[in-house]
């Protein structure tokens, strides 16, 4: 059902519309969070606690927002964070990749995504592929080589997940696969959301909830929960394992999920190209501090050796400016683009990227700069006690492998 005016002016408005449009189980899966929801909230609120220090005269007429991440050019320091966007929109990650390509930004593709890496790279050649430590080494190599062959320009390895599932506000029931029986069961949640359903009906498809990038050679794509089960049963990696993966890949390599200074230093030791200060969007161990609080000490410790990115809580361009001022090279966004995708497909993701760009441009203008590279802590009011340093001491032997 077409919306009369699908354009939205803020990410908050996109989220409100997504809530009205999506069946509750899909909306709830994107809302996510864990336990009390303290981290997911702090990720967003902490950006609001930081103040700007704008200049009154000396604004620059020309402003350059572009940069590079792991050697790849991007029109602004905002990347698409990898998410498994099962069932949000029939075009899924391909729509997101097209939007990112149209706006000149890098696409992060999850190995738990609903679309194959080959289709996503065809839509946006500037794609980084994300992997978890899941399955045996041969399976991981096979997935990695498939992504390399597809032409991805970098690998993101996410290692912070610890299978924390409970939410005080309840988790939606997500079926393993969608067949006639589950459709009947889901009908009360889906039928009041005809706009969402209609999109799938138009394409003649129903969300199949499989993860094609986890497909073994010659076998079918596993279901989301099938792949999740394999991951849960995989012994967690040591630093030596991560080093092995890094060496096997050889190219640009980002470690996602760092919150501690000692971990950031270990990541440098194993030769990562970049790291993302991340708590998985507050979906993991609840009460982990907001990533923007953790960023300054990590950027100070390793920012001259590797590229430091941040994800978690970014909802506007001003948030991007704040993260850059505190030492990030770029940020990744998750829910912000998912709300856009839910509301208006590819155009909705473009709408979100435009919101990010214009908000960042306003901040750079008001702060009197001509480039995002000029942003610094001097541009901000940082309230007392805002910064948090985790793992700031020497790496104890006990913590080594
Ligand atoms: C629904 C959902 C699915 C996600 N799936 C993945 C994933 O498959 N791989 C990954 O590295 N991170 C995943 N994430 C985490 C995001 O990449 C990112 O770290 C997080 O969303 C950033 O926080 P934000 O949503 O506040 O921007 C997911 C997040 C959400 C909300």
Ligand 1 center to 200 CA (angstroms): 23
User: Residues 285-296: pLDDT tens digits?
Assistant: 999 999 999 999
Six-digit token pair at 223? Answer: 């279901």
CA of 281 to the centre of ligand 1 (A): 6
DSSP per residue over 1-33, as a string? ---SS---SSHHHHHHHHHHHS-HHHHHHHH--
- Which amino acids bring their CB within 6 angstroms of ligand 1? 29-30, 32, 43, 81-84, 110, 112, 130, 158, 256, 278, 280-281, 283, 311-314, 333-336
Number of H helices, E strands in the chain: 14, 12
Which residue's C-alpha comes closest to atom 3 of ligand 1?
Answer: 83
pLDDT above 50 (res 126): yes
The CA distance from 121 to 143, in Å, is 15
| Nearest residue (CA) to ligand 1, atom 20 | 281
Residues 260-270 pLDDT 10s? 999 999 999 99
Mean pLDDT of 359-382: 98
pLDDT for 258: 98
Give the pLDDT confidence score for residue 191 in this predicted structure: 72
Q: What is the pLDDT of residue 394?
A: 45
Q: pLDDT value at position 400?
A: 36
pLDDT given at position 304 = 98
Strand partners, 255: 157, 275
Cα distance between residue 8 and residue 208, in whole Å: 29
Rounded to whole angstroms, the Cα distance separating 94 from 109 reads 10
Q: What pLDDT does 237 receive?
A: 98
| Active site members | 280
| Average pLDDT of span 31-36 | 92
Q: How confident is the model at residue 192 (pLDDT cuts 50, 70, 90)?
A: confident
Are 43 and 313 in contact, with CB atoms under 8 Å apart? yes
pLDDT score for 226:
93
What CA–CA distance (Å, rounded) separates 73 from 83? Answer: 22
Tell me which of 25, 32, 84 to substitute to probe ligand 1's pocket, judged by most ligand atoms within 8 Å of the beta carbon: 84
pLDDT confidence of residue 171 = 84
The protein residue with its alpha carbon nearest to ligand 1, atom 15, reads 280
**Res 184: pLDDT:** 66
Distance between start and end Cα atoms, the chain: 54
Per residue in 205-239, pLDDT tens? 777 789 999 999 999 999 998 999 999 999 999 99
| Pairing verdict, β 72-74 and 67-69 | antiparallel
* Predicted confidence (pLDDT) per residue in 129-138, tens digit: 999 999 999 9
Largest CA distance in the chain: 65
| Tens of pLDDT, residues 340-353 | 999 999 999 999 99
Tell the burial category of 186 from Cβ atoms under 10 Å away from its Cβ (0-12, 13-18, 19+): middle
CB under 8 Å to 147, separation ≥6 — which residues? 117, 129, 131, 155, 213
* DSSP summary character for residue 52: E
pLDDT tens track for 302-350: 999 999 999 999 999 999 999 999 999 999 999 999 999 999 999 999 9
**Which of 86-90, 210-214, 243-247, 373-377 is least confident?**
86-90
Q: Please, which pLDDT band fits residue 183 given cuts at 50, 70 and 90? A: low
Collapse the DSSP code of 55 into the 3-class scheme (helix H, G, I; strand E, B; otherwise coil) and give the result: coil
Mean pLDDT of the 351-374 span: 98
201 pLDDT band, cuts 50/70/90, is: confident
**Cα–chain-centroid distance for residue 395?**
28
**From 42, 82, 312, 352, mutation site for ligand 1 pocket: most ligand atoms within 8 A of C-beta:** 82
Please state, in angstroms and rounded to a whole number, the distance separating the CA atoms of residues 397 and 388. 23
Ligand 1 atom closest to residue 31's alpha carbon, by position in its atom list: 31
133 vs 284: CA distance, rounded Å: 16
Would you state the pLDDT for residue 341? 97
- Compute the half-sphere exposure of residue 155: CA atoms within 13 Å on the CB side of its CA: 24
At residue 206, the pLDDT reads 72
Span from the CA of 63 to the centroid of ligand 1 (angstroms): 30
Report the alpha-carbon distance of residue 47 to residue 383 in Å, rounded. 11
DSSP-assigned letter for residue 276: E
Q: For the residues 272-282, what does the mean pLDDT come to?
A: 98
DSSP conformational letter for 103:
T
Q: Is 275 helix (H, G, I), strand (E, B) or coil?
A: strand
Q: What is the mean pLDDT of the chain?
A: 93
Q: For the residues 94-118, what does the mean pLDDT come to?
A: 97
> Element (H or E) spanning 311, and its range?
strand 307-311
């Amino acid at each position: 059902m077409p919306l009369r005016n699908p354009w939205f002016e803020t990410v908050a408005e996109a989220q409100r519309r997504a809530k009205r449009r999506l069946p509750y189980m899909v909306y709830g899966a994107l809302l996510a969070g864990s336990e009390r929801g303290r981290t997911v909230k702090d990720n967003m609120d902490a950006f609001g606690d930081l103040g700007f220090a704008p200049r009154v005269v000396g604004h620059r007429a020309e402003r350059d927002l572009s940069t590079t991440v792991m050697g790849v050019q991007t029109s602004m320091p905002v990347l698409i964070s990898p998410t498994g966007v099962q069932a949000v929109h029939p075009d899924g990650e391909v729509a997101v990749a097209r939007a990112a390509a149209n706006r000149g930004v890098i696409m992060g593709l999850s190995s738990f995504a609903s679309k194959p890496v080959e289709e996503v790279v065809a839509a946006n050649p500037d794609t980084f592929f994300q992997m978890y430590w899941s399955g045996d080494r041969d399976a991981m190599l096979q997935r990695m080589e498939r992504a390399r062959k597809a032409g991805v320009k970098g690998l993101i390895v996410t290692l912070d997940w610890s299978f924390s599932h409970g939410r005080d506000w309840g988790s939606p029931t997500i079926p393993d696969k969608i067949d006639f029986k589950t459709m009947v069961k889901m009908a009360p949640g889906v039928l009041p959301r005809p706009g969402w359903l209609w999109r799938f009906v138009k394409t003649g498809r129903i969300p199949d909830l499989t993860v094609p990038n986890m497909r073994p050679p010659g076998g079918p794509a596993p279901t989301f929960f099938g792949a999740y089960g394999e991951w849960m049963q995989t012994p967690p990696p040591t630093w030596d394992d991560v080093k092995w993966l890094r060496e096997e890949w050889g190219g640009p390599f980002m470690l996602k999920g760092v919150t501690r200074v000692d971990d950031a230093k270990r990541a440098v030791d194993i030769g990562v190209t970049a790291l993302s200060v991340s708590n998985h969007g507050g979906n993991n161990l609840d009460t982990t501090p907001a990533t923007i609080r953790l960023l300054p000490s990590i950027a100070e410790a390793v920012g001259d050796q590797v590229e430091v990115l941040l994800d978690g809580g970014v909802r506007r361009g001003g948030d991007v400016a704040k993260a850059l001022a505190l030492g990030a090279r770029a940020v990744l966004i998750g829910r912000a683009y998912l709300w856009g995708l839910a509301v208006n497909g590819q155009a909705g993701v473009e709408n979100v990227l435009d919101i990010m760009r214009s908000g960042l441009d306003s901040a750079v203008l008001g702060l009197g700069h001509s480039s995002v590279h000029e942003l610094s802590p001097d541009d901000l009011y940082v309230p007392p006690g805002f910064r948090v340093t985790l793992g700031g001491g020497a790496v104890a032997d006990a913590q080594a492998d």
